[in-house]
DNA sequence: GCAATCGATAACCCGCTGGCTATTGATCGA
DNA sequence: TCGATCAATAGCCAGCGGGTTATCGATTGC
């Protein structure tokens, strides 16, 4: 029932969680330990955020020994881009409709 | 202190509020009454959402007699587009760095 | 002028979620 | 083998936010 962009908006609404995702976009592949070190919150809290990000499809995890590496899944952002394009599109077509109306009124 | 895209994400995270914004994008200019009629929630709740959307810069209001018309402010979405582009950009440059490294290793 | 409508505000309630600590399971190093 | 480290889970708590009803000021039509 929830559309893809719905999950994305909800997931990225939290600043801490978004900061984690941003770091993964910048730096590419980080362990939970490394993420926790700069997140300013406890390790369980980071793990919880990573769980949410993973369920949203925004990150992938890779197990290596006793540590887990996470990386950003950039393609997951496309529903967000689609949504904004759609909104812009609605605006455009309303503008065009108005233009058409004015043209007809001219004649 | 909160960055523009932060406010946008938080504002658009709520499905009901996003639905109101979408209607304004599609239909262009609606009164609180009209929005309430299809929102499935009470008029005060709608007004509260409109207040949040307005504070985020996503809508404008226009007073006409005793009724208030709201319309979407589409330009407000640009920080969102910028943010996604930035994330994609980070990914791109990491990819390019890897490519460069591989090229150097080839030589 | 008066009743009715429109929309904003106030005051309140409740569920969700983001934080914590404690613990467990698994893996690694000595 | 045993202590230490890493990450996930469980359980708990507090604050935020989205919903409600009640009310009020402003405007309009009769």
User: CB A28 to CB B72 under 8 A?
Assistant: no
**Of the candidates A17, A23, A7, A13, which has an alpha carbon nearest to the alpha carbon of residue A71?**
A23
ipTM confidence score: 0.84
Distance CA B84, CA A25 (A): 11
Structure tokens at A87: 């909104």
- Which residue from A17, A55, A80 is spatially nearest to B88, judged by alpha carbons? A80
Chain-chain contact of A25 with B87 (C-beta, under 8 angstroms): yes
Q: What is the mean pLDDT of chain A?
A: 88
Round and report the angstrom distance from CA (A35) to C1' (C25): 21
Checking each nucleotide's C1' against the CA of B10, the nearest proves to be: D17
B105 burial type by CB count under 10 A (0-12 exposed, 13-18 middle, 19+ buried): exposed
Q: How many angstroms is C1' of C19 away from CA of B34?
A: 40
Domains of chain B: 4-106 (1.10.10.10)
Nearest Cα residue in chain B from A5: B13
Above 60 in pLDDT, residue B12?
A: yes
Higher confidence at residue A95 or residue A56? A56
Strands B59-64 and A30-31: unpaired
- Least Cα distance to B58 among A97, A12, A91, A92 occurs for A91
Judged against a pLDDT cut of 60, whether residue A101 lies above it is answered with no
The size of the A-B interface in CB pairs under 8 A is 58
d(CA B29, CA B59): 10
**Residue range A33-49: mean pLDDT, rounded:** 96
Which protein residue lies nearest to nucleotide D20, measured between its Cα and the C1' atom?
B42
Chain A environment of B15 (Cβ under 8 Å): 2, 6
pLDDT tens for each residue of B32-46: 999 999 999 999 999
Average pLDDT over residues A82-88: 91
Residue B10: per-residue pLDDT: 97
At B47-89, the pLDDT tens digits run 999 999 999 999 999 999 999 999 999 889 999 999 999 998 8
Looking at residue A41, its pLDDT comes to: 96
> Rounded mean pLDDT of A26-52?
96
């Amino acid at each position: 029932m929830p559309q893809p962009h719905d999950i994305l908006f909800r997931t990225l609404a939290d600043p801490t969680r978004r900061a984690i995702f941003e770091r993964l976009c910048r730096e590419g592949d980080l362990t939970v330990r490394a993420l926790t070190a700069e997140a300013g919150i406890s390790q369980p809290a980071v793990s919880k955020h990573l769980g949410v990000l993973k369920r949203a499809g925004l990150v992938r995890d890779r197990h290596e020994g006793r540590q887990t590496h996470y990386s950003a899944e950039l393609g997951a952002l496309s529903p967000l881009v689609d949504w904004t394009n759609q909104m812009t599109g609605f605006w455009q077509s309303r503008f065009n409709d108005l233009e058409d109306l004015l043209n007809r009124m001219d004649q």
